[in-house]
Amino acid sequence: MDAQRAKSHGPVVSDVFDYTFKDVIGYALGVGAKASHDLHYLYENDANFSTFPTFVVGPAIRSNSVLSTWPGIEFDPTKVLHGEHYLKLFTTIPTDGRLRCEIRIADVLDKGSGALILSDVMVYNEETNKQIAFQQFGVFVVGAGNFGGKRSSQHYIPIVEPPRRPPDVVTEEKTTPEQAILYRLVGGDLNPLHIDAEFAQISGYQQPILHGLCTLAFSVRHVLRSFAGNDPSNFISVKVRFAASVIPGQTLLTEMWKEGNRICFQTKVKETKEIVLSNAYVELRSPKSEGAGSADVFDNKSHLEISTKSGRNAKLISKL
């Protein structure tokens, strides 16, 4: 690894992505949107038809494919892990159009057991040249450390520790056995790890796993429903660490804490109790109080249940 050489190269235009309302709807379906309460993501004639905030991760992840030939960076593709992700929106995403992605290497850190590549992706509206989003990928390359580089960077966007109190809201949602198959078609990541059992076993997994960015989007949906009135324009940013994998068909539990304009969260697999997204947060423009707007989001068919524990604040548990 040659961090200085990697940082001095770029930014380069790595992808131009044309899309229509059909792609917007397909993505929403891929991250679990439901007609019962997410019609504004699913119907192009809805008065509030919107693009889900994490839609732009698809074009951005395609942009990262250039890392394999980036000057100053050498790695075995089978040793690469998507360790962390940050997304910030500067405006709402158009429901159709053309996006341009530009990528640069912010830094390459020496973590001993591996190298952490911080790749920044800027997403622009190609027609207006207005920046829509900024993303930072934390790409960990196993076994590529000990190259004499620094261990920390001012360019790194930090994670957060969750509050030491019971979560204010917990949302439960089951993924489908076909979740990864659908997401790989609409989310921009065709890695066979998510569909090919033999490839997954070669990569060290017993079976194909769900995309971490799909799990991220599920959790962002939970936050927006619980604290933003299900309004995507309330979203500013999200930061997560990918802590473990999800098997398609498993149930996600998103535990959320309101901390000012930030909703801290972590996501677990119900069946194993394992944390799969950790040290995470969503920043909102105008967060509601805990569970606010949930009556509009979850009707009686959603099996809403309000419970209290040890006299503390009520927690909303929604089973989708």
The one-letter code for the residue type at 137 is F
Q: Catalytic annotation on 194? A: yes
Catalytic annotation on 189?
yes
From the list 209, 247, 263, 275, the catalytic residue is 209
Nearest C-alpha neighbor of 195 from the set 185, 209, 214, 176: 209
**Annotated catalytic residue, options 194, 222, 247, 263:** 194
Residue tagged active-site, from 212, 222, 247, 275: 212
Is 311 among the catalytic positions? no
Strand arrangement, sheet containing 80-89: 12-19, 97-110, 114-125, 131-142, 80-89, 235-242, 275-284, 262-269, 251-259, 169-174, 315-319, 305-307
Backbone angles phi, psi at 108, to 5 degrees: -130, 120
| Known active-site residue 202 | no
Closest-CA residue to 270 (of 296, 291, 251): 251
What sign does the CA torsion over 268, 269, 273, 277 have? negative
Cα(81)–Cα(63) distance, integer angstroms: 16
* Active-site residue, from 114, 187, 189, 291: 189
Provide the total of helices (H) and of strands (E) in the chain, helices listed first: 8, 12
C-alpha distances in Å from residue 23, one per residue of 42, 94, 162, 304, 305: 10, 12, 34, 31, 34
Residue 109 · residue 153 · CB < 8 Å: yes
Q: Is 183 helix (H, G, I), strand (E, B) or coil?
A: helix
Give the integer Cα–Cα distance in Å for 47 and 73.
47
The residues carrying an active-site annotation are 189, 194, 209, 212
